[in-house]
Amino acid sequence: MSHAKALRKLLAGPEVIVAPGMYDALTALLVEQAGFPCAYLGGASISYSRIGRPDIGLTSLSEVAQVVAHVRERISIPFVVDADTGFGNALNTQRAVKMLERMGASGIQLEDQTYPKRCGHLAGKSLVPTAEMVGKIKAAIDAREDADTVIIARTDAIAVEGFDAALARAKAYTDAGADMLFVEAPQTPEQQQALGAAFAGKVPLLANMVEGGRTPLKPADELHKLGFRFIIYPGAMMRVTAFAAAEYLKVLKADGTTDRFRDRMFDFKGLNNVLGLDDIMAAGARYDATLKKAAE
């Protein structure tokens, strides 16, 4: 089964899908080893980790594609890739879909902001016309080489045009053939409930949980009861990592040693166990006498 078909199978099943965010091959590996059936690669986390900048549309398609390729090389579970606006018009969107699919994306998410975009939980967004976004969705569907690749349509209309306009855009994107729907940043439990009432059973609904964002945080099982099928935590991994790193640096600066922090990190052997050093050395030893000696 291809990874795209595996994502389709998950979406067709009865269970809610929790997809933790990751931002490189190591964090993707941790998600897989933790037993999650799917992962999510967010544009914000790529911006944070690759260029140390907030999510305001500064990363390029090639930067995203490179991360996708590294992740797919390391893990086998399906993962969804945030392709922002498609990096331009419908033709740019087609190029993005082809490239990201080729690099290993199981699902590709597109949004209706103008380019360059910004994080859905930041103010100051603007949108392309509905018809333009409909064209991008159709272009994405035509561009995919694997019919199982999931095309996710996101609208940021709640913050820009209001909730009713967001519902209208969401319906238009569903009618255009989107495989999953992502209405960004509902601001109240009532709006979350209304989204479920409008679309549950018609198209899989994605819920985005952002710590400190505009949307009320709810457990996955509660969101499932409201009609959401695919729950992402796109930036939590990055926030956890950045917080832990900052705490470690405080200790190192104060103490001149890492000793006080050692119970909050993998040691040398522990991290190599996570990375699968023994297995890869054993595999290499089949072809290289030097590696065989090192593995003994």
pLDDT at 296: 60
Interatomic CA distance for residues 154 and 156, integer angstroms: 7
pLDDT at 27: 98
Domain residue spans of the chain:
3-234, 266-295
pLDDT at 122: 72
Please write the tens of the pLDDT for every residue from 44-55.
Answer: 999 999 999 998
Q: Which two tokens stand for residue 215?
A: 């949307």
Residue 228: is its pLDDT beyond 90? yes
The chain-wide mean pLDDT, for the chain, equals 95
pLDDT at 293: 64
State the pLDDT confidence band at 291, using cuts at 50, 70 and 90: low
For the chain, percent of residues with pLDDT exceeding 70:
98
Please write the tens of the pLDDT for every residue from 114-146.
Answer: 988 877 777 778 999 999 999 999 999 999 999
The CATH number of 3-234 is: 3.20.20.60
More confident residue, 39 or 283: 39
Q: Which two tokens stand for residue 273?
A: 């166990």
Residue 181: is its pLDDT beyond 80? yes
Cβ contact 98:71 at 8 Å:
no
180-183/150-155 β-pairing: parallel
Classify residue 183 as exposed, middle or buried by CB count within 10 Å of its CB (0-12, 13-18, 19+): buried
Residue 195: is its pLDDT beyond 90? yes
Give start and end residues of each alpha helix (H) in the chain. 3-12, 25-33, 43-46, 61-74, 90-103, 130-143, 157-161, 163-175, 189-199, 220-226, 236-255, 268-275, 277-285, 289-295
At position 62, the amino acid (one-letter code) is: S
pLDDT at 123: 78
User: Residue 64: CB partners within 8 Å, gap ≥ 6?
Assistant: 41, 43, 46, 81, 82, 83, 100
Q: pTM score > 0.75 for this model?
A: yes
Q: Which two tokens stand for residue 243?
A: 């917080």
For the chain, percent of residues with pLDDT exceeding 90:
88
Q: What is the mean pLDDT of residues 246-265?
A: 98
CB atoms within 10 A of CB 224: 22
Sign of the dihedral defined by the CA atoms of residues 211, 212, 214, 216, in that order: positive
